[in-house]
Amino acid sequence: MQIKWLFAVVIAWTFGLLMLGAYVRLSDAGLGCPDWPGCYGQLTAPDEAHEIHQAQQQFGGEIVPHKGWKEMIHRYAAGILGVLVLALTVVLWRQRQRLGLAPWLIVLPLVVVVFQALLGMWTVTLKLMPGVVTAHLIGGMTLLALLIALAARYLGRPISVLANLRPWFFVALLAVIVQIIIGGWVSTNYAGLACNDFPLCQGQITAPQGLLAALRPDRELGRDVAGELLTIEHLAAIHWLHRVGAMLVLALVGVLIYRLRNVQPRLAWALAGALLLQVSLGIANVLASLPLSLAVAHNGGAALLLGILIYGLTLTPRSARSNQSAPHFQPEIARSTP
């Protein structure tokens, strides 16, 4: 298999796994299996009568087979991704001198996969603790970003006309990363419907009370650090912060798109499409009361926007002079006619 096809498979699988993880989380199946790495002590979710009886005797509580299957499919898909990333790491390591890739950059995706497995375990053992679940989401996005950056480094060369836009790529990327973290916090705290009106949040434009308490990462799901139950105001404050972040992303990525429109119009259109899609999905989720399909798609939209920014930043040279002396290849998305 050619490396470019291996990259395509690994990146596509990672994106699909992000969507699958969002589906498992948003369909309330994150604890479909109360143990790890198996499910009620076996390799598949118990769905036969004798298996369910045995699981109840050993673990207690209600057994919901379809939730267990969702979680186990997610775990097996994650295991396959680990094998794919290992294969990519071996191939790139053997060609590291010819490709000019730093050893740490080649190994880093594999390190992230291992850490993701640990976070998956802690997600179960710590009973969906928001800080851990959000870190699991961030880890998945980080892996996707690393793979796209590696693919861009391998398949493309820096585009000198983008050199002056490098600071704008950094600013837009930072805003999107922060927004993804806040969005993950909204999702893992089940605060997606805490503001059921738009554009206001609970009829007001300012933040509801309790934002700082709701942002504490060292608390259990649904409770503050003192163990008291979170109120709807706490959850609404998280949601409100996510909306503020969305406006900031809209502004900063919008400026980058405006500056890209003449130098790389196809990249500008790709960014504009991803940004419009993500904003539309966010609004639709509120107006439609967070249907599962739109909520999962919103996660995918965030990954798409992140990936395009990482791709563009990777192909942006540190200075315009650094590439004037050498011809370079521009990937298909970056080609344009004046």
Q: Are residues 148 and 88 in the same domain?
A: yes
pLDDT value, residue 319: 61
pLDDT value, residue 51: 93
- The reported pTM is 0.89
Q: Are 274 and 305 in contact (CB under 8 A)?
A: yes
Q: Are residues 212 and 182 in the same domain?
A: yes
In this prediction, the residues of the chain whose per-residue pLDDT falls under 50 are 321-338
Q: Are residues 131 and 171 in the same domain?
A: no
Q: Are residues 61 and 129 in the same domain?
A: yes
The total domain count for the chain is 2
Domain extent at residue 80: 1-155
pLDDT value, residue 331: 42
pLDDT value, residue 14: 98
pLDDT value, residue 327: 37
Task: List helix spans (H) across the chain.
Answer: 3-26, 49-59, 65-94, 96-99, 103-125, 130-155, 166-188, 211-214, 232-260, 265-287, 292-314
Q: Are residues 115 and 262 in the same domain?
A: no
Closest among 22, 13, 2 to 295, alpha carbons compared: 22
pLDDT value, residue 52: 93
Q: Are residues 147 and 173 in the same domain?
A: no
Q: Are residues 138 and 169 in the same domain?
A: no
Last residue of a domain, one of 111, 131, 155: 155
Enumerate the active-site residues.
71
